[in-house]
Structure 1
């Protein structure tokens, strides 16, 4: 267990509900709540433990709080500069900071993408606040970001300054980095005794065809909003940023796997925070005390919005299944749509999968009614895996 205080012991013979989020429908905590509600109606005697498993994006702080961490609210700058109230999670000298809380797409006014000007400033402010609260190990959850500024805003939020040729502060965002002339890092705090771990999403390097700027346009979806010309502008700005940032930090990290994470926030974390980038599910499962919660479990229920090959590489079900196997607990999964064979499930150590599309084939209605449908699935799970005891 990597937090200072171990989780409370789970009751013997319990069912551990450890799902990921259903993107566009429910957070991981929401999925766990609906599964719990359905199971309690039909098996009120079975002890249930909810442990939603975040994927490093929206809902990571919520999941940590659900696991017993303390929620801390702080006012920071959103991705367009407007103030937002963001949360972080704290437990002893450990903290969870979520990029989406301060700099996420859901923080964009009216949901309108701002690929050229959106900033990660608020995330740097959240990190600084965690350090002031005494955190010495910080897990940064990078998913759901709205910016492609290479983490330049994050450095600003920690106290750095980015200057143009006239010595004036640059405007926020990745496009403005083309005019970057100098960095003033005298305001950065001493983070030599702070360990930062980025719960990575498998992103590529900072620059180029698989880099942070390229991820702001097709095929990554309209939410990020960049045109081809804007992608070229962003990539040029990120290249200028990388040149000066690597010179200032005496590092060479732009080509490392994960440097392009979250619009390049991974690059800034590597260069200025001495961060490591590690697989999200394993980091977060350890952080939440999954092994302790799974010990003695009668059944573990995990899940993901779509159960497919990607789920077996980096989403919650794969990590949960591996960790549950080590604890000797059987695992089943719930999903919106299943795209895996029985053999693939068995190789992933998942005994069975239950899909919402078997109850509601229409995608729009399935997303809208995901909660009640999960409660229906819970009845089938109880019948097959939790027989009534005489």
Structure 2
């Protein structure tokens, strides 16, 4: 029996690698002869770097940079085993949790620190850069990443505008003379898990700004600033990003990187799956386990479970896809329609959240053993 274990993390409880290890224990308990392949997954947001480090078995690099409000911070990055792909996780330097010890600064927070990480990745000689978006503290349209790479954003007087979304409203020209010499020579791939456009009622500021500390007035200001930024990008590069699907991710980061660096936005779970070799692993699998904290309607709209179900359906073996989750809220018919064979909650019954978090490792192992035994005996 060939089993692939490819879960997302259980946020607040276990990393994707820890979930995979516990599920694998259950599979082997039920079928000691099973061939088990663990490929921890992520949807392109927070936790993606950790999943890739585990799948590739590589050691991360560390760089001194700044957080979203300019304070010193260290951030990790990695390269693939062959050295061709560099991985930058935006949340490492510019993530919201790192600035939550202070009153949030929605107008001033930026992504310059992530740009400095990306500079180090380019210095390592990679052919492509994978930027994992998600967990951003800022709404700066990717301007900070560009300045971290050496670009200058200038106002009417030829002076550099300040970091953050507020500065976007003052940009009149983009000076690329100091841009890292390899920045436009490599391929940039942006892992996104949303389809929101850059601006408008469904854009970065109005949909995601409030979780970064913006009130209604701030959100309106930031939306106007992003629209102006998109206008400048259009004029300077000839690339329109106002309505680009996914451009609203991570405070609008894709807009600047698509226009200036030619970056490509991709569905995060699919991009990660390809990077860790999941399609190849599924080619002869009988069963694939995935999982996440909550299996709900969002899970089958571009998240990890959805990506795995699509890959399983396209593989020659067409393995059964089983979801293990903290809670299962998606009705079975909708799960089946999305290509999920079955979904099970690890909750043993009515239980307090803290108790369930404590029991998560053991429950994952036990449930995986039961499912493996059932499907194994049925001939899978």
* TM-score, normalised via structure 1 length: 0.87
Q: What's the counterpart of residue 356 of structure 1?
A: 346
**2:37 maps to which of 49, 52, 73:** 49
Q: Is residue 69–residue 89 contact of structure 1 (8 Å, CA) maintained in 2?
A: no
Note the residue ranges of structure 2 that are not aligned, 5 or more in a row.
none
Cα deviation for residue 201 of structure 1 reads 1.9
Is the aligned partner of 1:337 residue 2:327?
yes
CA distance in 1, matches of 2:18, 2:159: 46
CA distance in 2, matches of 1:135, 1:360: 50
CA distance in 2, matches of 1:120, 1:192: 19
**2:273 maps to which of 276, 279, 285:** 285
Is the aligned partner of 1:78 residue 2:67?
yes
**2:187 maps to which of 173, 184, 195:** 195
SS of residue in 2 equivalent to 1:305: strand
CA distance in 1, matches of 2:23, 2:347: 16
1:30-84 CA distance string (max 9 Å, x none): 3213323444556555343211111111111111111115322222221111222
Is the aligned partner of 1:26 residue 2:14?
yes
CA distance in 1, matches of 2:74, 2:219: 30
The farther-off stretch of 368-377 and 72-81 is: 368-377
Map 1:119-268 onto structure 2 (within 5 A): 119-190=110-181, 191-217=183-209, 223-268=211-256
Q: Is residue 105–residue 111 contact of structure 1 (8 Å, CA) maintained in 2?
A: no
Q: What's the counterpart of residue 384 of structure 1?
A: 374
Q: What's the counterpart of residue 8 of structure 1?
A: none
Detail structure 1 runs of 4+ shifted over 6 Å in the superposition: none
Note the residue ranges of structure 1 that are not aligned, 5 or more in a row.
1-12
Q: Is residue 45–residue 193 contact of structure 2 (8 Å, CA) maintained in 1?
A: no
Provide the aligned length of Structure 1 versus Structure 2.
373
* TM-score, normalised via structure 2 length: 0.89
Q: Is residue 332–residue 352 contact of structure 1 (8 Å, CA) maintained in 2?
A: yes
Q: Is residue 115–residue 216 contact of structure 1 (8 Å, CA) maintained in 2?
A: no
Compared CA separation, residues 366 and 327, structure 1 to 2 (3 A): farther
Cα deviation for residue 134 of structure 1 reads 1.4
SS of residue in 1 equivalent to 2:168: helix
